[in-house]
Chain A
Amino acid sequence: MSTGQSRKYKVIGTRPVRHDGVDKVTGRAKYGADVRLTGMLYAAMLRSPHAHARIKRIDTSKAAAVPGVRAVVTSADLPEQGDRIVELGEGAANMPHLSSNILARDKVLYRGHAVAAVAADNIHIAEEAVKLIQVEYEILPPEMDVVKAMRSGASILHDDLRTEFASPSSGDSGPTNVAKQYLFEKGDVAAGFSRSEVVVEREFDTATVHQGYIEPHNATALWNPDGKITVWMSTQGAFSARQQTAEVLRVPVSSVKVVPMEIGGGFGGKIPIYLPPVAAVLSRKSGRPVKLVMQRADVFEATGPTPGSHIRLKMGVSKDGKIQAAEAWMAFEAGAYPGSPVGMACMCVFACYDIPNGRIEGYDVCVNRPRTFAYRAPGSTHVAFAIESVIDEICQKIGIDPAEFRLKNGAREGTRRVDGPTFPRVGMVETVEAIKNSAHYRTPLTGKNRGRGIASGFWFNVGLKSSVTATVNNDGTVSLVEGSTDIGGTRTSIAMQLAETLGIAAEDVNPTVADTDSVGYTDITGGSRVTFATGIAAVEAAKEIQRQLVERAALLWDCDPKAACYVDGGVQGPDGKRIGFKELAEKLHLTGGAVIGNGTSSAAQQGGAFGTHCVDLEVDPDTGKVQILRYTIAQDAGTAIHPSYVEGQMQGGVVQGIGWALNEEYFYDEQGSMRNATFLDYRMPTTYDVPMIDTIIVEVPDPAHPYGVRGVGEVPICPPPAAIANAIRAAVGVRMRELPMSPPRLLAEILKAQTK
């Protein structure tokens, strides 16, 4: 369902069949695991059985001697990195950290940390040979908990790590696991709290959770004797993967070509690289192409999940329900190397509201878990759980409807965030209104042990850089070459913007995702940016085509191009002359050959995305099990290019949020071994666990995009844990402040409340 503006577009807002649909449903689409090259070898990895240990010695001789083994590598085969920091488009990478995450150098920092790899004639030989590699470890105590890892006396992961304080005058931290402090302040917090009639302060914990993409990481590499390296892989960003691979191997970026295969999910987790440099060095040593595919346990144990966190949040509200002050303190697990999304969490925590006085403090803390990486709106779900729970409690205390409270305090155009920026036109309150007016919210919930909760969420969305090339074919179609990996249907959403601008049908555009040698530089598919930024590039390319077609028509009509213009899928000239796109395309050979439009986008910034969710659920008070009964999400999509894919993103985000809320967690034993590194025991929701997710697309166009697009991929994951916690409170009277709200945890709280 859409609250839609009146339809002013021909293509935008329609639901054409996706261009890659047939390949996907017939199983013909080629994924990384489908790559097969002549003479290709198969590789297996040796991974650390310990969460924290010093590597004293590695002996690979027995493995190398196995018949059929062609190459063995350890970190000694990767170049030294020194102290280099490299800019990667979506952020900077610390090269020694990136390299030693790919193959451990002097220490292993988490169970599953890659130590060595073997390439052999088949995978069975490689797997058996890997077991013969002998590693001597000096086992160190693991530091698994974010708060404990901050204490003095904690086991130190990196001897040379010092805290980067928000204020340079804070001095030297000495050896520590705390990599960075963030601090944001606005107004007078103490005065704000003293003006508040109701003040609530609570602490929250969230568990480490994984993106859970179905397709494991993979890479096949060929290092040719001429020094050229080709990598076929599953990635969210071919250019980022190219640069990371080149930097780790210390070769020029132009020596590496990345061929992005179809991708079976990423959600942020396929931005970092793990395998390409290993496969490349194995290829250099063996002279053959080498394929490396992770197992599911490797994916869980050794690829970046999103961190667990500890959050303390305090909010003060006056009797009339206006927020007077708010304060947050949070520590996020970075995993083995610095770089959690705590900085973004700090910027998101209060973003949905107008907070006159605020203070936010955050810490990035290393622990012996895999290095965390992005997962849909990184950091925002954690803090939404905290603030939206506290707001619910405040609403209960002062007796105000939670939707009303959000309308009263919601961020609007001109609201300044505690961390500084002022919002342009955004749709926060419109999403609250959409929920408030929804059939769901207006239908009273009845029944025992049932409850309803609502919550809102925010995500920035980014712009970054994109390129496309569009070529007009003489049958009136357009071939569109783009550098954005298609994860959520973006071939179609970009093609539709090109089609709209040219006034042709979406089906007349043939989109292709190209390798890094075949299209201009394009940043990752992430930050909800592709339909926005690559869309802008496509609109630019279409305008360039318009310009050239006008010249061609002028040539045919023998008139001044200035006397002609492009309207409604064709060129209009003097004296009522008109030639349609198709007709003109047929005449390209007569008028000067190919028409090619290039488009880039680099400067545009998105205004931000908001969503508000409403959930009904039922708790089994004897087992603590939660059943989601009904779920409605309202989200500002700016302009929904392809409403089905917008709805798909909204529903997918909600389902992942439900998993995060109810069951997903990294479960570690005392030694720091993950005990649930399977889809059996790492419990993502199945189709039996979620109802149909009802969607309300709100459209408050983003002025930064020619058609008003806002990214939609990330913000839908932010509100679910909070909305569900609020609904559980309404159902059975207990307030859950720790994720996941799994049956054992919820039952324990219910029983505690009964004995009180």
Chain B
Amino acid sequence: MHAFDYQAPTTLREALELLSKPQQSARPLAGGTDLIDQMRVGRLTPEVVIDIKKIAELNALRVDSGGLHLGAAVPCYRICSERAIIDDYSALVDSCRIIGGVQIQSRASLGGNLCNSGPAGDSIPSLIALQATCLIAGPQGTREVPVESFCTGPGKNVLRTGELLIELRMPRRAPHSGSHYRRMIPRNEMDIAVVGVGASVQLDATGKTIVAARLALGAVAPTPLYAESASQLLAGQPVSDALIAKAAQAAREIVKPISDMRGTAEYRVHVTGVLVQRALQAAIVRARGEACDYRPGH
């Protein structure tokens, strides 16, 4: 591994100053579960690594009347143990529970997962489905970007030099809402999603009609996708197998997968539809307040 400097600022201002120092390549370090490995294999060679875990704003985790505020560096295990998130933002917990094992979840953050901007990042479809917005700070002040517009290509995103992701914000959940994330992997653990689908639905009080829905797809295009037309065709419709199949078909139409060692393009297209159906069904079950029997990996 190349030689590099390490800094651990305790304030946001300090971090932003360090990040925008000219003439040196810098990289924020949250859990480091992507970054350290990428440095080990020489894919990234920052001159300075800036540990952001000691900054209060990036460790915030609260649910209030405005919704969920999730600091960019909060590790998965904290998300999984928060009752309000388990109940109302279940898809996030589904994602956090499958990102690596216990050791990885003790470190890995959703900010890191999103900023790594892998097409198969397991939290991104959930964040899109839950309508998350990124709060970004930089030399020019702060700005907000919806998660579905954040990634711009494999490993690429809208962050400009000197910018830092501070927080992910998700709106308050409406009553009778449910969400779910699942992925297809060839094994039952230790794999990158071949296809990942996040789904969020809001039902009416009878539980029979979909008021609104958001579907998001991972690993089937250069960036995670918000499946807009598939989501919209669900709104206002009574729940039925035919409706769900229609959404699955609409989702298949927008994907542009590649063939690689994880699966062929045709396979990914087919499985996108399969997982959209399964994710929607589980989200609906949850929206009705029923338990869904979902075992990660199966």
Contact = CB atoms under 8 A, between A and B. Distances in A.
Interface stretch (B50-58, B147-155, B184-192, B279-287): B184-192
Contact of B274 (A623, A676, A680, A685): A623
A619 to B, nearest CB: 13
Interface in A594-651: 622-625, 627
Contacts, number: 61
B57 to A, nearest CB: 33
B46 interface: no
Given A667-B261, A744-B263, A686 B190 contact: yes
A675 B262 CA distance: 10
B1 interface: yes
B155 to A, nearest CB: 16
Contacts of B261: 667, 675-676, 681
Interface string A653-695: 0000000001100010000000110011101011011000000
A686 B297 CA distance: 12
A688 B188 contact: yes
Interface in B254-278: 260-264, 266-267, 270-271, 274
A742 B261 CA distance: 11
B174 interface: no
Contact of A627 (B189, B266, B298): B298
Nearest to B275: A623
A218 to B, nearest CB: 18
Nearest to B262: A681
Number of chain B interface residues as a range: 20 to 34
Interface in B4-30: none
Interface residues of A, number: 27
Contacts of A623: 184, 271, 274
B242 interface: no
A675 B190 CA distance: 17
A688 B185 CA distance: 12
A746 to B, nearest CB: 10
Contacts of B262: 681
Nearest to B274: A622
Contacts of B186: 625, 662-663, 683, 742-743
B268 to A, nearest CB: 9
B293 to A, nearest CB: 15
B291 interface: no
A627 B148 CA distance: 34
B83 interface: no
Contacts of B267: 624, 743-744, 747-748
Interface string B160-190: 0000000000000000000000001011111
Nearest to B266: A748
Contact of A751 (B3, B191, B270): B270
B2 interface: yes
Determine which residue in A128, A624, A680, A743 has the highest number of CB atoms from chain B within 10 A of its CB, and name it: A743
Nearest to B265: A744
7 contacts: A124-B3, A627-B298, A681-B261, A686-B187, A686-B188, A688-B187, A742-B186
Given A683-B187, A744-B264, A747-B271, 14 more contacts: A124-B3, A625-B184, A627-B298, A675-B261, A679-B190, A681-B192, A683-B186, A685-B187, A686-B190, A688-B187, A688-B188, A689-B187, A689-B188, A743-B263
10 A-B pairs with the lowest CB-CB distances in the bound complex, closest first: A688-B188, A667-B261, A744-B267, A676-B261, A622-B274, A688-B189, A675-B261, A686-B189, A744-B263, A744-B264
